[in-house]
Structure 1
Amino acid sequence: MKLIKNIQSIAKEVILQEAHALQNLAVLIDAEFENCVQTILNAGGRVVVSGIGKSAIIGQKIVATLNSTGTPALFMHAADAIHGDLGMIQSNDVVVVISKSGNTPEIKILVPLIKRTGVKLLAMVSNPDSYLGRNAHHILHAHAAQEADPLNLAPTTSTTVALALGDALAICLLQVRGFTHDDFAKYHPGGSLGKRLYLKVEDICSHNEVPSVPETANLKTIILEITSKRLGATAVVNAQGLLTGIITDGDLRRMLKQYDADALFSLSAADIMTKNPIAAMLDDYAVNVLEMMQSKSITQVVVVQEGLVVGFVHLHDLLKEGLV
C-alpha cells in the first residue's frame, strides 16, 4: 500500500478544514436562524427531525440533544416517512429536514408530503437554492463548500457543520426557555453524570461519623477522637457548639515539629486548630464540594447547619460515588 502523504499531515488537514468550515458557519448565523428558533418555540409541539444516509445519523444525534435539553423531539427517517411514519407528525410539531444538497430523490418526495400536513418545515441545507431550501418555511444554513476527503464525496465536513448547527439550535432553545441545572438533572439521572447533577452533601455525609472536640480538649482527647472516627480530622467547637476550627492529621504532625515534648501536653484544641475552616452545607451539590477540595488541596470538609457541626465529607466518599 502506497502512502502518499504523512498520516499526521492528512489528519491535521482534515481537522483544520472542518474547523474552517465551522468558523464560516458562525458568520452565517443571522435573523433567519432566529426565525427558526422562534418557529419552534411558537409551535409548542415537538421537533421532528428527518434525513437520509449520513444526515439521518446526524439527525438522530440532534434529536438526542434536543430531548436532553428540554425540547421534545423525535426522529423520522426520510425513507420510512413515505411508508407510514409520516403519521407521527402532529399539528403543532415543527419538522426539520437535513440534506446537504437538498435535491435528493427521497427529499423531493418527502417535502410535499410534509407540507400537506400543515406544519412548519425547516431546512438544514448547504444550498438554500435547492428544492428543499425553496420549499421550506425557514432555512438553517449548513453551508459546507467541500468535504474533507480528496474526492469531495464522503460526508465529512458537511456532517460536522450540520451537527454543530444542531447543537447551536438546541442550546439557543435551552437558554430561551430558561432551562436550569435542576431541569437538566431530571433528564440525566443515571451514572456519574447524573450524580454530578443531583447528588448533594446530605446524601453523603449521613454515612460518616461526626468527629468533634471542644476548644478546651487536650492532645490525648484530640488524637483519640480523630483515630476512633477514622476520617483523618476532627471539628473543633466552642461552648455553644458552633464550629470554630478543624484539626487534621497534618496539623498534628506539624505541631510535633513545632513544639518540644514538655509543651505538647499543655496544648488545647484551640492552640492547634486551623481557625475558620472551609465548610459545606447540607444542600450543597457534592460536585461543588469536590471542586472546592481540589482547589484547596484538602481531603475532608466539615458540614454545618446554622453553624453547628452536623457531618463530614471525605474525598473517599466522592470517589465511591464516581465523581472523581
Structure 2
Amino acid sequence: MTPLVTENPCHFQKTGRTVLQIVREGLQQLDQYINEDFTHACKIIYHCRGKVVVMGIGKSGHIGKKIASTFASTGTPSFFVHPAEANHGDLGMVGANDIVIAISNSGEALEILTLIPVLKRRHIILICITSRPESTMACAAKIHICVKVPKEACPLGLAPTSSTTATLVMGDALAIALLNARGFTQEDFALSHPGGALGHKVLLRVEDIMHTGNDIPCIQPDASLSQALLHMTSKKMGVIVICSIEGLIKGIFTDGDLRRILNLNINIDVQNMRIDSVMTQFGIRARPGTLVVDAVNMMKSKNITCIMISINDQLLGLVHIHDILRASIT
C-alpha cells in the first residue's frame, strides 16, 4: 500500500471535487429514467394493499435500508429484508399483498435471483432497480427502473459510488412522488416521528403539559395583595390567576406587575390592597387544543412567560415557559 502523502493538501481537495463532479454528472443522467416505468412503479406501490419489501445485498443493501426507511416515514409502509436471510426463512415475512423492490447494480445478485422463482410462484409483484436493463433481474421484473450512470467516482471503477448515490436518489424520488400523491401532511410525518423535534412541535398541545387543579396559583378577587404574593411565591411560577369561586378568570398578576407597582414609588398597603385592584384584567389565554409551538409564538409576541388555558372564561390550566423548555419546544 502506498504511504499517505500529506505534503500537498490540495491533492485531497482536487480528488474530492472530482468525485463530486462525477457524481453530479451521474445524477444528471437519471432524468431520462423518470419515465413510464417510474410512473407504473408509483401507481403499483400507491395501490399496494400490503407493504413494500426492499431487498439488496452489499452496498445495495445499505441503500435499500435507507429507501425502506424513507418509504415508511413518508406514508408508504415498508421494511427491509436481507436476501441472504430471505433464502433461509425470512421470505416468510413477505405477504401475498406485498410488493418487492429488489436492488442490484449489476442485476445479477445471486441471492436475489434465487428468490425470484418463489416470488413469481406466489404472484408477488417484483420491481427491480438496476443499471442494466438487459440483466436477469431486469428481465424477470414486472417493472424495471434503470439507474445507469456513466462511471463510478472510484478511479478503479470498483467501489460503488456514483451508482449507489443514483439508486438512493431514485428511491427518494419514488418516496416523495408517493408522498405527494397521498397528500401526506406535516402532521402525518410527525406521527411517524413522535420522538423528534418535529413530532413535538406538531403533536404536542398545551393541554399535554399544562398545570391543573391545585398546581395552578389561583386566588379570589377579594384577596389582599399580601395573600396573593404569598400564594404566588409558594407556587414558584411568578404569576397568580385571579378567579371567581366558580373558576371564572377575572385577571392575572405577575412578578412583572409587582415591579411596576413598586417603581411608582407610592405607599402600598399590601395587607389591605385587594388583588383585583392591581391585576391585569382578562389576560392572554389559549384553548387546550392549541399547539405548544403556537403558544410559544403567542408568548414571544406578547413578551410573557405564562399563558392561561381556558374555554371561554373557565380556567383549565396554566403553562409556563419552563414547562415548554422541559418539553424541548423552542
Tell me the TM-score range normalised by the shorter chain: 0.7 to 0.9
- 2:306 and 2:22 map into 1 onto residues whose CA distance is 47
**Which one of 121, 124, 130 corresponds to residue 125 of structure 1?**
130
Q: Which amino acid aligns with 2:105?
A: K
Change beyond 3 A, Cα 1:225–1:114:
same
2:148 matches 1:139: no
Query: How far did residue 316 of structure 1 move?
Result: 2.1
Quote the residue 1:40 is aligned against. 45
- 1:14 and 1:292 map into 2 onto residues whose CA distance is 48
Quote the residue 1:55 is aligned against. 60
Query: How far did residue 302 of structure 1 move?
Result: 1.4
Q: Which amino acid aligns with 2:128?
A: A
Correspondence list, 1:71-220, <5 A: 71-177=76-182, 187-188=192-193, 198-206=203-211, 209-212=215-218, 219-220=225-226
Query: How far did residue 72 of structure 1 move?
Result: 3.2
- Indicate the SS of the match to 1:223: helix
Moved more, 111-120 or 191-200: 191-200
Give yes or no for contact 1:95–1:119 (8 Å, CA) kept in 2.
yes
Moved more, 89-98 or 192-201: 192-201
Q: Which amino acid aligns with 2:280?
A: M
Moved more, 118-127 or 93-102: 118-127
Change beyond 3 A, Cα 1:86–1:310:
closer
Give yes or no for contact 1:126–1:141 (8 Å, CA) kept in 2.
yes
Q: Which amino acid aligns with 2:39?
A: E
- Indicate the SS of the match to 1:43: coil
Higher-Rg structure is 2
Query: How far did residue 131 of structure 1 move?
Result: 3.6
Structure 1-normalised TM-score? 0.76
- 2:27 and 2:198 map into 1 onto residues whose CA distance is 28
Quote the residue 1:64 is aligned against. 69
Q: Determine what percentage of the aligned residue pairs are the same residue.
A: 40
- Indicate the SS of the match to 2:54: strand
- Indicate the SS of the match to 1:2: coil
Quote the residue 1:226 is aligned against. 232
2:251 matches 1:248: no
Query: How far did residue 35 of structure 1 move?
Result: 1.8
Quote the residue 2:307 is aligned against. 301
Structure 2-normalised TM-score? 0.75
CA RMSD of aligned residues (A): 4.0
Query: How far did residue 96 of structure 1 move?
Result: 0.2
Unaligned stretches of 5+ residues in structure 2: none
Q: Count matched residues.
A: 322
Change beyond 3 A, Cα 1:268–1:89:
closer
Q: Which amino acid aligns with 1:299?
A: T
Change beyond 3 A, Cα 1:274–1:43:
same
- Indicate the SS of the match to 1:304: strand
Q: What do residues 175-217 of structure 1 show as CA deviations (whole Å, max 9, x unaligned)?
A: 5445566765665555777655654322322467223456777
Q: What do residues 247-292 of structure 1 show as CA deviations (whole Å, max 9, x unaligned)?
A: 43234334444x2324897896566638652x23222344543455
Give yes or no for contact 1:213–1:269 (8 Å, CA) kept in 2.
no
Unaligned stretches of 5+ residues in structure 1: none
- 1:22 and 1:295 map into 2 onto residues whose CA distance is 45
Moved more, 229-238 or 173-182: 173-182
Give yes or no for contact 2:33–2:145 (8 Å, CA) kept in 1.
no
**Which one of 2, 12, 16 corresponds to residue 5 of structure 2?**
2
- 2:289 and 2:112 map into 1 onto residues whose CA distance is 52
